[in-house]
Structure 1
Amino acid sequence: METEKPGALRYPPRLNQAESDDLVQAVKNWALAHGLTIRPQPSVVSDDVDPQGLLAINVPVTLFPSPFPRQCFDQARSVQQTYNELYAAISRDEEFLAGAVDEVRDGDEFTSNLWDVHLRVKKEGYTQNLSLGLFRSDYLVHQDLPGNEPQIKQVEFNTIAASFGGLSAQTTLLHKFLSTSEYPLLQQSITPESLVLPENDSARGLAAGMRAAFDAYGDSELGHERCILFVVQDGERNVFDQRHLEYALNDTLDPIRVFRIPFSQLLDHTSIAQTPKRQLLYHLPRNRSKTFEASVVYLRAGYGPSDYPDQRAWEARYHLERSAAIKCPTVLTQVAGTKKVQQLLATPRSDADADADGPSILGRFIPDPDDAPLSAQVWRTFSNIYPMDTSEAGRKARQVALDPELCLHYVLKPQREGGGNNHYREDIPVFLEKTPESHWGAYILMELITPPKQENIILRNGKLEEGGVICELGIYGTCVWNQSTGELLRNEEAGYLLRTKGDTSNEGGVAAGYGCMDSCALV
């Protein structure tokens, strides 16, 4: 069954040239005025044209909010707090995570190196028991056959650098503005009453999670003013998304000082106090006499191998991990977000244990789905995911992955975050044939999710792209927990993200140039 569209007429409406021109101008002006922006890619504006990095353009965005099934939207929101609790519990289970790392170690040096950072700090002794999670659980609407009820299926769970919370809130506001100012004036008029646009305060929701961790840290015993450090990539293009979170932390009766520091400069501008607690001290580069104590470190870098070009980068991550700052995320929480963990959680009870009556792997962390309604709702969001190891299930998955017909229904995923890392359909056997078989266990094989067909118009780099689209919903969550006791100090849902891409594109990353920002029109 195709998703019902807002209103009785064609959606999105067919625009004449004048309407298209006016709507594009309205979007560009609003986006630039409200920070719905991104630094342009070099292919759009070269460094020679803008050597000082002065320019910004509107982020790729849809002209209209995309229809999204209300029941799927509500389902995704209703399980987020359970997902927060789940991943907090996983991060505390060192034995389970060690086993997951061992299964991918041969083909995934990056995850192995992360785990080695944890082992180094564990040997020395952790000084900070509190952890902060700014999570995002991503879903596609799955409709296997026309006429069947749509349902959400999880694409992945993000535990590090879960981006676009700042821009998502602005995109919702953009579409609400257009619904009252522009859509009613079209020849095929769309009235504000015909669009159900849910509220979305993702920027403030994520900032509230950081605020909770900042407060839980307590006052500085060294007498320093405290701060939050945003650790970012060099040449970050998605800077405005991050800035919205910073501004939300500042726009309160009790503002929090926020500093941005490139990952590559951590060892230059931070030090660890020579105390048992090992406080993390930030020395302001423009005035070294100013020293701040970092209560919270928010990582928007460090999630992929390219952020670690040399051993010094790994020393910087160790430097953070051994400090007293509350990390978002810790190494353990980052490892909990790997695709291998996602695959293990989705393993059915009968395959999870030699004793079929024992708990599922999911049941190791939250009440087993057979016993708890919320756990059952989480279970229903899982897709079919298989290991690529030498187990019986792994050998069967390898046969599927190498079959030129069967592979057309699957995606092969490494233990990576960010767009551009996956291998789809007919590319899977080609990739595996070029990859040493000893490395195959570092991947998981996931059944492709089949979203319903719909259309929209995307404004990207000043040009319109019209046609079929696929929408991916992300639900944000914030969680602060005690790594030793398991106590949850905060567990909240924190808004949503809708990313949309052309239906012929496999990847969906906005900053990577694949997808665009969107918002939901519930139907």
Structure 2
Amino acid sequence: MSPLTERSYPPVLEDQESERLVQVVKDWTIGNGLAVRPPVAVAPAEVDPRSILATSAPVTLFPSPFPQVCFEQAKAVQTAYNELYARISQDEEFISRVVQEVIGGDDFIASLWDVHLKVKKEGYVQPLSLGLFRSDYMVHQENQGTGTQESMPQIKQVEFNTIASSFGGLSALTSSLHRFLAATEYPLLKGTGAHGQYNLPENKSTQGLAAGLRAAYSAYGKSQLGHETCVIFLVQGGERNIFDQRHLEYELQQGSRTPVFRLPFSEILQRTTIADSDKRQLLYHLPSNPSKVFEVAVVYLRAGYGPGDYPNTSDWDARYHIERSAAIKCPTVLTQLAGAKKVQQVLATEASGLGKFISQDTEEFKKIWETFTNIYPMDTSEAGLAARKLATDPEKCQKYVLKPQREGGGNNFYRSSIPPYLKSVSESHWGSYILMELITPPPVTNIILRNGQLEQGGVICELGRYGACVWNQHTREILYNEDAGYLLRTKGDQSEEGGVAAGFGCMDSCSLV
């Protein structure tokens, strides 16, 4: 495949240029909140016992070239994806079938489904749902390396995130950083390639996601109990990626002054109660002033997406407590389950899967279908048995990634690691995985600044497109549906995973080519 970058990109930096650029980036990122709490390797607990330190989020020194046609393709399809996943979350029968196929080997999915069944039994009291989604893609191009003419590049979907779709708060800032550098620092560099035109698209991911939260907050309406209403960010303890979340809070509070509170997942049952009424309003008791009670209009889950957030039975009780309340959830359990990898596989395997939700003769169907790559079940169906042969073959497995029904990064198995992993797992559990053909993006080079050190070489870029959607589960009416900006995550081309907070990837922005 033809590289997206010329040999002169990124420009070769002399030592003094490199030192200056690193210092400028370090200062700008801290000055503007493009930051994370430092990892333990940088600041051990004994060095920072009060968690007062912050460090620059890992970033590229230059924006990475990205095909404009692919960028526009992702943007154009996002609202259709929002509506698709709203419809999936409304189809309990479909989600039930998917869940039954994977729960034999996935206790976490089974426990989420149990929460839904318990609430369904007593009756849901809140028909409105909020989705803050992110659809992740990589660039794909047919006929690469075959000697024949290569086709136009297209995006192919890696995954669709329905819970805790992170980095919207930092992504817009990364775009701003590269705009600043393009205006002030790149023109000063001597190296060839530094002075070209940078086609940097607008990125309003912070505003877009906050607008979705604000739409849900407004849809909730005023308290019937006479309380002030609020938004709760449900978070993990010791969150390193706190500033990403804070930027959404600050944006939400600007202008409307919406009360926003952070609540650790482990403190749900201590800090909230449910009103003794038919509406089951969720009440938040302010720790600093227990006499002050807020009615929770929206609960935004930035925790609860993996088994690690549920170490005790009480944590599942807390999730049930939230789910049965009148607060608008982002996401509900059903919407979280809609984001399972098995759902993605069913949609992509045959047209009838996607056609169940979107008519096959529509433009929306075509746009979504074109983003799918080859995904296979790992069950005992004919397709699943064929996929098992691919996954266990030492040679053929090199083209695939094995995925469990998990969010958050670091959960997948790539290439040669697939066969030994499957040997360690009972075959009765294989059906809870999917097998995806690896997408091979065009070569790109860049320089990453991570923990004060520069890493230069080949990189792989993954584009995420955010979407915000509010809908009514009962009437199926879509109340709000908007594209909400983008994320570009970049990692060294030797890394399998792309999680920024986990230390694999870094923040980046697009220079469209």
- Range of TM-score over shorter length: over 0.9
Q: In the alignment, residue 87 of structure 1 is paired with which amino acid?
A: Y
In 2, the alpha carbon distance for the partners of 1:376 and 1:177 equals 38
In 1, the alpha carbon distance for the partners of 2:285 and 2:495 equals 44
In the superposition, the TM-score normalised over structure 1's length comes to 0.96
Is 1:212 matched up with 2:215? yes
Cα deviation per residue 1:236-264 (whole Å; 9 max; x = unaligned)? 00000000000001111x21010000000
In 2, the alpha carbon distance for the partners of 1:262 and 1:395 equals 43
In 2, the alpha carbon distance for the partners of 1:222 and 1:191 equals 60
Selected match of 2:279 from 268, 277, 287: 277
Selected match of 2:356 from 347, 360, 364: 364
Selected match of 1:514 from 489, 504, 510: 504
In 1, the alpha carbon distance for the partners of 2:66 and 2:191 equals 21
CA contact 1:184–1:190 (8 Å) conserved in 2: no
In 1, the alpha carbon distance for the partners of 2:23 and 2:359 equals 52
1:462 aligned residue: 452
For 1:494-505, what aligned pairs fall within 5 Å after superposition? 494-505=484-495
1:268 aligned residue: 270
1:128 aligned residue: 126
Is 1:478 matched up with 2:468? yes
In 2, the alpha carbon distance for the partners of 1:201 and 1:522 equals 17
Q: In the alignment, residue 162 of structure 1 is paired with which amino acid?
A: S
CA contact 1:179–1:190 (8 Å) conserved in 2: no
CA contact 1:159–1:333 (8 Å) conserved in 2: yes
2:428 aligned residue: 438
Report the Cα offset of residue 4 of structure 1: 4.1
In 2, the alpha carbon distance for the partners of 1:13 and 1:457 equals 10
CA contact 1:66–1:520 (8 Å) conserved in 2: yes
Report the Cα offset of residue 148 of structure 1: 3.1
Cα deviation per residue 1:329-349 (whole Å; 9 max; x = unaligned)? 000000000000000000124
Stretches of structure 1 that go unaligned for 5 or more consecutive residues are: 350-359
In 2, the alpha carbon distance for the partners of 1:97 and 1:507 equals 28
2:325 aligned residue: 323
Describe the SS at the equivalent of 2:225.
Answer: coil
Q: In the alignment, residue 2 of structure 2 is paired with which amino acid?
A: E
For 1:119-518, what aligned pairs fall within 5 Å after superposition? 119-144=117-142, 145-146=144-145, 147-188=150-191, 194-252=197-255, 254-349=256-351, 360-368=352-360, 371-518=361-508
In 1, the alpha carbon distance for the partners of 2:165 and 2:205 equals 11
1:83 aligned residue: 81
Describe the SS at the equivalent of 1:346.
Answer: helix
In 2, the alpha carbon distance for the partners of 1:434 and 1:249 equals 46
In 1, the alpha carbon distance for the partners of 2:357 and 2:334 equals 15
192-201 or 292-301: bigger deviation:
192-201
In 1, the alpha carbon distance for the partners of 2:498 and 2:151 equals 25
In 2, the alpha carbon distance for the partners of 1:183 and 1:502 equals 23
CA contact 2:345–2:375 (8 Å) conserved in 1: yes
2:47 aligned residue: 49
Report the Cα offset of residue 188 of structure 1: 2.2
Q: In the alignment, residue 270 of structure 1 is paired with which amino acid?
A: T
Report the Cα offset of residue 471 of structure 1: 0.2
Describe the SS at the equivalent of 2:295.
Answer: strand
Report the Cα offset of residue 183 of structure 1: 0.2
Report the Cα offset of residue 190 of structure 1: 5.8
Q: In the alignment, residue 272 of structure 1 is paired with which amino acid?
A: I
Report the Cα offset of residue 10 of structure 1: 0.9
Compute the RMSD of aligned alpha carbons: 1.0
Report the Cα offset of residue 149 of structure 1: 2.2
% identical equivalent positions: 65
Q: In the alignment, residue 20 of structure 1 is paired with which amino acid?
A: S
For 1:111-122, what aligned pairs fall within 5 Å after superposition? 111-122=109-120
Q: In the alignment, residue 361 of structure 1 is paired with which amino acid?
A: G
Judged with a 3 Å threshold, the aligned counterparts in structure 2 of structure 1 residues 486 and 384 are, in CA distance, closer, same or farther, namely: same
Runs of 4+ in 1 over 2 A off after TM superposition: 1-5, 146-149, 188-193
In 1, the alpha carbon distance for the partners of 2:312 and 2:213 equals 30
Describe the SS at the equivalent of 2:402.
Answer: strand
Q: In the alignment, residue 286 of structure 1 is paired with which amino acid?
A: S
In 1, the alpha carbon distance for the partners of 2:151 and 2:356 equals 32
In 1, the alpha carbon distance for the partners of 2:297 and 2:196 equals 45
Report the Cα offset of residue 377 of structure 1: 1.1
CA contact 1:130–1:326 (8 Å) conserved in 2: yes
Q: In the alignment, residue 208 of structure 2 is paired with which amino acid?
A: G
In 2, the alpha carbon distance for the partners of 1:176 and 1:378 equals 31
Cα deviation per residue 1:422-480 (whole Å; 9 max; x = unaligned)? 00000000000010010000000000001001100000000000000000000000000
Q: In the alignment, residue 90 of structure 1 is paired with which amino acid?
A: I
Q: In the alignment, residue 60 of structure 1 is paired with which amino acid?
A: P
CA contact 1:180–1:191 (8 Å) conserved in 2: no
Report the Cα offset of residue 9 of structure 1: 6.8
CA contact 2:4–2:443 (8 Å) conserved in 1: no
Stretches of structure 2 that go unaligned for 5 or more consecutive residues are: none
In the superposition, the TM-score normalised over structure 2's length comes to 0.98
In 2, the alpha carbon distance for the partners of 1:455 and 1:476 equals 25
Report the Cα offset of residue 189 of structure 1: 6.2
Cα deviation per residue 1:166-205 (whole Å; 9 max; x = unaligned)? 0000000000000011000000266777000000010010
For 1:29-48, what aligned pairs fall within 5 Å after superposition? 29-48=27-46
CA contact 2:358–2:364 (8 Å) conserved in 1: no
Describe the SS at the equivalent of 2:215.
Answer: helix
